[in-house]
Structure 1
Amino acid sequence: MRNLVPTFQAYPFDLAVIRNLHTLDFHPKVTYIVGENGMGKSTLMESIAVSWGFNPEGGTMNFSFSTQATHSNLFEYIQLVKGPRRPRDGFFFRAESYYNLATTIDELDREPSPGRPIKDSYGGKSLHEQSHGESFFSTFVHRFGGNGLYILDEPEAALSPLRQMAMLTRIHELVQQNSQFIIATHSPILMAYPDAQIYNLTPDGIEIQTLEETDHYLIMKEFLNNKDKMIQQLFEDNDN
């Protein structure tokens, strides 16, 4: 659908990742979208999610709330090629608008309804009555039920390193239940799922990398192995 793009000189089509994108194959288990800030990770993730039918601000396909329409129209110019196995569950997890999702759930649960409260699907407790990290993890543990497509944009934002490792375990449990993940992340821990594809977004487009080749892994490893030296160099550069 590139022939329908009005111009590649304006956002979001001027992003290198979009300008040079033709096709992108997703791993049947886990696909990672990584790269520096500003490379277009969230824009790409949002377009995939909206094209599938998810609300731009996150949640299941049953959510239609909108606090501010800031999503791009990129989804109108991509075509998803779906496999023969259709997911029975799905969720677009977006860290930056998760507060809005939690608020919407509380508001809907206050309305008269013959059904169970929505919060029961998230552990039975209001997401606003938990810490940020606890509410994130409640969604991963209680709402994600398997046989699903889960699109996660920076899920590590409120998770400690220990919880990030627990998240890896949860991802593996759900993969074993025929689930597929597409994850945008900066976390080398979350990138460590062994049977996965990593796409690194760069100013020149998209490249395939292993975990050990990513800047995220290399910089973190160098910092942990040479902390004092790196801090000294950082402070010296700042002083100069």
Structure 2
Amino acid sequence: MASRRRQQPVVAVLRSDDAPEPDGRWPSSIPAVAQVLREGLRLDPGVTFLVGENGSGKSTLVEGVAVAYGLSPEGGSRQARHSTRATESPLSEWLRLQRGVGADRWGFFLRAETMHSFYTYLEQNPSTRGPDVSFHEMSHGESFLAVLESRFDSPGFSCLDEPEAALSFTSTLALMAVLRRIADDGGQVLCATHSPVLAALPGARILEIGEWGIRPAEWAELEIVAHWRSFLDAPGRYLRHLLDP
């Protein structure tokens, strides 16, 4: 994936000097988190996808990296400081980010579960760039795309947690175009996803997360791709086990 030459915002995710050793306490009990605390995680320029089942730790990692970067755990840019109910893990306090020298410091964290409260925050704290669109008056998917189009306009560090949750197939394709534009402009993206469509973005790096920890993967080798292909080929093979009396 071609990009303009500039320093990437985050070169690597490392264990901070005062972090506890992985000892079985959550979230270090998650294999992927324990691996990052032991070995660190190198981040490439462009787009990196974390793919895995529920509970595998992908969202915990994205949240931890986003907060360590200085972003609000409930989403938004570095300036956003809204908070409803603190649920984030202590992982961000255990991480140290190796940053690119002279890299753009802008960042944005988009997470599906807290976007509704983020829209309210935007209404109560108008942007200096001018009036925002009326996010609450849009459908869930429309508002997501509006945020992407209006906020993801700087080549910094973008963290996304399951952004496809609100999107249709065609809207997911539109999101892929946004991610490609960010990468082409020299930005960096870390995205947790369940979507085999989104993970098919050409040039993206894919890390599959599971009981083994974290491993590089090709799109065609992903478990989610195999499962979706099998289901779409013959849905009855899955549904009869769930629906038959």
The TM-score, its normalising length taken from structure 2, stands at 0.87
The question of whether the paired residues in 2 share the 8 Å contact of 1:156 and 1:187 is answered with: yes
Kindly tell me: are residues 7 and 219 of structure 1, through their superposed partners in 2, closer, same or farther at Cα, counting changes over 3 Å? closer
Residues 65/71 of structure 1: CA separation in 2 closer, same or farther (3 Å cut): same
Q: Which residue of 2 aligns with 1:15?
A: 30
**Residues 206 and 129 of structure 1, relative CA distance in 2, 3 Å threshold:** same
Partner of 1:75: 92
Given the alignment, which residue of 199, 206, 209 partners 1:198? 206
Question: Which has a greater percent of helix?
Answer: 1
**Other structure's SS at 1:173 match:** helix
Taking the aligned partners of 1:19 and 1:178, their CA distance within structure 2 comes to 30
Matches within 5 A, 1:34-49: 34-49=51-66
CA shift for structure 1 position 30: 0.6
Residue 26 of structure 1 contacts residue 197 of structure 1 at CA under 8 Å; is this kept in 2?
no
Indicate if the aligned counterparts of 2:16 and 2:96 stay in contact, CA closer than 8 A.
no
Q: Which residue of structure 1 aligns with residue 219 of structure 2?
A: 211
Letter in 1 for 2:63: E
Question: How much does 1:173 deviate?
Answer: 1.7
**1:225 paired residue number:** 233
- The answer as to 2:117 corresponding to 1:108 is no
Q: What one-letter code is carried by the residue in structure 1 that aligns with 2:117?
A: N
Say if 1:132 and 1:158, in contact at 8 Å, map to a contact too: yes
How many residues align structurally? 228
Match of 2:140 in 1: 132
Match of 2:83 in 1: 66
Q: Which residue of 1 aligns with 2:196?
A: 188
Q: Say if 1:197 and 1:7 are closer, same or farther in 2 by CA, change over 3 A.
A: closer
Letter in 2 for 1:16: P
| 1:98 and 2:115 correspond | yes
* Matches of 2:72 and 2:154, distance apart in 1: 20
For residue 103 of structure 2, what is the aligned residue in structure 1?
Answer: 86
TM (normalized to structure 1)? 0.88
Q: CA–CA distance in 2 between the matches of 1:88 and 1:230? A: 46
CA contact (8 A) 1:146 1:175 kept: no
What letter is aligned with 2:133? K
Partner amino acid for 2:165?
A
Partner of 1:148: 156
User: Which moved further from structure 2: 165-174 or 3-12?
Assistant: 3-12
Name structure 1 gaps, 5 residues minimum.
none
User: 1:52 and 1:136 mapped to 2: Cα distance?
Assistant: 22
Identity %: 36
SS in 1 for 2:103: coil
Structure 2 unaligned spans of 5+: 1-14
Q: What's the Cα RMSD here?
A: 1.9
Report the Cα offset of residue 232 of structure 1. 3.3
Structure with bigger strand share is 2
